[in-house]
Amino acid sequence: MGEAKSGQEFITHEFDEAIAIQEAIVDGAETLAKDHHRAESKHAIKVGLETDTEQLRMLRTFGKAHTATGKAEGVAAALKTLMEDTAASAGEAPSEAYEAQAVLVALKRKQQDSAGALLRIARDLDDTELRDAATEFGRVTRTSADALADDLSWFALELATARQAAASRR
């Protein structure tokens, strides 16, 4: 376990974690936009990728003011590795693409937590620019996560129905 952080050190940690997770989102989405087996999923991922990249730039800009660089430790490091591993095998089979997309959704859900924390920190610091950016970050991350999760449920149905059809042919 790492040592306890508080004050400015914790603010830096929150930005580092948010940046590292957002990097994993962008990198994972870029891979899935190429290697995913399902056209509808590729489209949903591509739609969010531009905003994901913009949000990464925003986090890096605000994080720089708090000496954050995107250092990945703990949860961020584990999730980043999971995204890299699942995205790398996404092209192997539809079920692998499904797993990678599920990880991408989980990363976006984690970012919703980060957005909430950054919003509260911004309010406490009386930083209206960060407050507005964190509010928008939370909104677009939630919208994107919801869209990808909805798509994932349709993908799950397609995978389940295909397996049932294959089993009934035997």
Q: What is the pTM of this model?
A: 0.91
Report which DSSP code applies to 91: T
Give the pLDDT confidence of 54-63 residue by residue, as tens digits.
999 999 999 9
Question: Could you tell me the domains of the chain?
Answer: 8-169 (1.20.1260.10)
Q: Which tokens belong to 138?
A: 């939370």
Average pLDDT per run of 10 along the chain, which is 170 residues long? 73 95 97 94 95 98 95 92 96 96 98 96 96 97 97 95 59
Instruction: Please say whether the beta carbons of 105 and 145 come within 8 A.
Output: yes
Instruction: Give the three-class secondary structure for 123.
Output: helix
- Map tokens 């990249």 to a residue: 53
Report which DSSP code applies to 66: T
Q: What share of the chain is helix, strand, coil (3-state, %, to 5)?
A: 85, 0, 15
